[in-house]
Chain A
Amino acid sequence: MTHLLPLALKSAWNRRYTLGLTLIAIALSVTLLLGIERVRQDARDSFAQAVSGTDLVVGARSSPLQLLLYAVFRIGEASNNIGWDSAQALVAHPAVAWTIPLSLGDSHRSFPVLGTTPAYFEHFLYGDKQALKLAQGKRFVGLFDVVLGAEVAERLGYHLGDKITLAHGISEDGPEHGDKPFSVVGILARTGTPVDRTLHIGLEALEAIHLDWQGGAPIPGFAIPPELVKKFNLTPKSVTAVLVGLNTRAGVFAMQRYVANYRDEPLMAVLPGVALSQLWEMMAIAERALLAISALVVVVSFAGLVAVVLAGLGERRRELAILRANGARPRDLLTLLALEGGAVTLAGALVGLMLLTLLTAVLGPWLEAQYGLLLKLALPSVEELRLLGWVVLVGTLASLLPGYRAYRLSLADGLTPRV
């Protein structure tokens, strides 16, 4: 085998243009395969990073997944709100260490606006139990203060002191709360979670901008100027969800039962980890389908490789006969062709890996900005290496086909090929 390898490499190099095209096809398919695997892995990671240290997410009774997606990831449909009384009842419960009320629904240039309390900055944790940090400025103190996520500030070019207005609803062209501008008082450090894409204001502020609104539109002929809103009761009537931290994790199921049996309105408490694993189960089907499709693309590229090598065999019959005359056994020729295909496959796999790394470096920032998907520039994972191993193995096995053809040809031709 070792005496055949230099021959195989030289032979492959001799047909580098046709094999090069095949190599590119293999490289692209490998990029696709590994890219899907990496997006899958990193999407999972960035989802799992988004919330930590929160024991329960409490909201109106609906699908646990829907509540989690909306409250934590700002994805999907708004669920029903829960009454402020219920939120207060949670605060009063002896097992509860802290609560963070969340109120969603408004937006600013398609970034979601979150109404919450200063407890958010105290207790909200992400990643490996990391707390939020302010990169600039301070938390919201005044009624019309807003704290921006890192991505919001960067994309929209906002600085401390800028005035911005919020839009009602989550669509880009919703009606504006134009009469009550907010000023940027703080910008959070980047977290790689949905927090980066969120504008944070106080619950009272959210209440204030909706004082003169009804049914999703301003009440005609009725406007309350910003300086007068403090005369009104700005206690919220409802919130979207409440993040709950318990004194001890052990009480989590008891607390979940307490919430489920709450008398005044139908509530639900969700363990973030459990809801996330539901999400993975749902996504697993799509992930497997994607992986299967990209595996098929790899197989198609191997079909191309086999076709190219097979097509070349016709003109190489004389070369095979010369090798035979000089001592190559038919099985050496089989090995030679398989090595050649294996070398092209290996090179294709490596080029694919490099291409993926390059794409990650170039497109990563854009993906993060556009889809909140954090792609890590990292060495290939064990899973990726295993996929690569399979690719090389299958490619080499596929190359046995032209190898076998060369074997048959050399047996039939002997030393004098009939060409």
Chain B
Amino acid sequence: MPQPVLSLENLLFRWPDQAAACLDIADFQVAADEQVFIHGESGSGKSTLLNLIAGVLTPQRGNIAALGQPLSALSAAARDRFRVDHIGLIFQQFNLIPYLSVLDNVLLPCRFSARRSQRAGDPKTAAATLLQHLDLDASLWRRPATQLSVGQQQRVAAARALIGQPEIVIADEPTSALDAARQTAFLDLLRRECAAANAALLFVSHDLRLAEGFGRRVEMGQINRATTA
């Protein structure tokens, strides 16, 4: 097996004000190009897991390695840099900075990451290409992000997660604010673009109906041994 883009080993995380562990994961790996559907009810520790992988939280025990780099070896600021260099994130909703235009929102990672900016080639052209691929008309690009519909906003967020070709894209319930028809359309677009960018996709949702088409499906309950969750 080639080196995994993401590897969690013997991981234990407990919130400081709680007695019991929130996450206890023996082993979890994601290979490059893999598209993984992680299923879990709310409160199953999904958000905590995302914060750990993104390097915002640090585990009490165990290792997280992304692209072979142990996150625990990095300082907090270096983890912030590492995150923007290698991980694209999409959240449930309100992904966009309200006072920035659609285009500026997409370009945000390039503003903070020289690597993403460089891999995008000309960031503005890259952003334009992505927005076009995600069916966002050029007439919308200069508008403030808040003028867009929720579905459009999620597609802008997807474009932002993909710009500059990060190795990992993490999506946390990105379709929960969309109706069923748009959910499928969005998922198709997201999976297609991740595949095109050779990015591993971690898709987290409580909705099993969306799991169709993913190469691998993981239950939070399977990988998380902590019972409190």
Which A residues are closer than 8 A to B by beta carbons?
Answer: 3, 7, 10-11, 13-14, 318-319, 322-332, 414-416
Q: State how many angstroms separate the Cβ of B188 from the closest Cβ of chain A.
A: 24
Which B residues are closer than 8 A to A by beta carbons?
Answer: 47, 50-51, 54, 56-57, 76-77, 80-81, 83-85, 89, 91, 94-100, 104, 108-109, 111-113, 116, 160, 172
Please tell me if the beta carbons of B91 and A319 are within 8 angstroms of each other in the complex.
no
Q: State how many angstroms separate the Cβ of B72 from the closest Cβ of chain A.
A: 16
Q: State how many angstroms separate the Cβ of A285 from the closest Cβ of chain B.
A: 49
Please tell me if the beta carbons of B91 and A328 are within 8 angstroms of each other in the complex.
no
Give Cα A64 to B109, complex, Å. 73
Task: Say whether chain B's binding surface is mostly helix, strand, loop, or mixed.
Answer: helix
Please tell me if the beta carbons of A415 and B54 are within 8 angstroms of each other in the complex.
yes
Q: Considering the complex, give the chain A residue whose CB is closest to the CB of B77.
A: A329
Q: A14-B98, A327-B116 are in contact. List 8 more A-B contacts (CB 8 A).
A: A318-B94, A319-B97, A319-B98, A322-B91, A322-B96, A325-B89, A330-B76, A331-B77
Residues on B with beta carbons closer than 8 Å to the beta carbon of A327: 80-81, 83-85, 108-109, 111-113, 116
Residues on A with beta carbons closer than 8 Å to the beta carbon of B108: 322-323, 326-327
Residues on B with beta carbons closer than 8 Å to the beta carbon of A11: 99
Residues on A with beta carbons closer than 8 Å to the beta carbon of B57: 414
Residues on B with beta carbons closer than 8 Å to the beta carbon of A415: 47, 50-51, 54, 56, 89, 91
Give Cα A327 to B98, complex, Å. 17
B97 touches which of A3, A323, A414 (Cβ 8 Å): A323
Residues on A with beta carbons closer than 8 Å to the beta carbon of B81: 327, 329
Q: Considering the complex, give the chain B residue whose CB is closest to the CB of A12.
A: B99
Most buried by A among B80, B96, B113: B80
Q: State how many angstroms separate the Cβ of B23 from the closest Cβ of chain A.
A: 14
Q: Considering the complex, give the chain A residue whose CB is closest to the CB of B104.
A: A10
Please tell me if the beta carbons of B80 and A322 are within 8 angstroms of each other in the complex.
no
Give Cα A414 to B52, complex, Å. 10
Residues on B with beta carbons closer than 8 Å to the beta carbon of A3: 111-112
Give Cα A331 to B75, complex, Å. 13
Closest 7 CB pairs of A and B: A327-B84, A327-B112, A14-B99, A414-B56, A329-B80, A326-B108, A325-B89
Residues on A with beta carbons closer than 8 Å to the beta carbon of B89: 325-326, 415
Residues on B with beta carbons closer than 8 Å to the beta carbon of A330: 76, 80
Residues on A with beta carbons closer than 8 Å to the beta carbon of B160: 326
- The total number of A-B Cβ pairs within 8 Å is 72
Please tell me if the beta carbons of B112 and A332 are within 8 angstroms of each other in the complex.
yes
Please tell me if the beta carbons of B54 and A326 are within 8 angstroms of each other in the complex.
no
Give Cα A329 to B79, complex, Å. 9
Q: State how many angstroms separate the Cβ of A18 from the closest Cβ of chain B.
A: 13
Residues on B with beta carbons closer than 8 Å to the beta carbon of A7: 100, 111
Residues on A with beta carbons closer than 8 Å to the beta carbon of B95: 322
Most buried by A among B85, B108, B160: B108
Most buried by B among A11, A325, A415: A325
Q: State how many angstroms separate the Cβ of B110 from the closest Cβ of chain A.
A: 9
Residues on A with beta carbons closer than 8 Å to the beta carbon of B84: 326-327
Please tell me if the beta carbons of A325 and B112 are within 8 angstroms of each other in the complex.
no
Known: A415-B51, A415-B91. A328 touches B98 (CB 8 A): no
Most buried by B among A11, A318, A415: A415
B80 touches which of A10, A14, A328 (Cβ 8 Å): A328
Residues on A with beta carbons closer than 8 Å to the beta carbon of B76: 329-330
Residues on A with beta carbons closer than 8 Å to the beta carbon of B51: 414-416
Please tell me if the beta carbons of A416 and B50 are within 8 angstroms of each other in the complex.
yes
Q: State how many angstroms separate the Cβ of A323 from the closest Cβ of chain B.
A: 7
Residues on A with beta carbons closer than 8 Å to the beta carbon of B98: 14, 319
Residues on A with beta carbons closer than 8 Å to the beta carbon of B113: 327
Residues on A with beta carbons closer than 8 Å to the beta carbon of B97: 319, 322-323
A325 touches which of B91, B99, B104 (Cβ 8 Å): B91
Q: State how many angstroms separate the Cβ of B205 from the closest Cβ of chain A.
A: 15
Residues on A with beta carbons closer than 8 Å to the beta carbon of B116: 327
Most buried by A among B50, B111, B116: B111
Q: Considering the complex, give the chain A residue whose CB is closest to the CB of B85.
A: A327
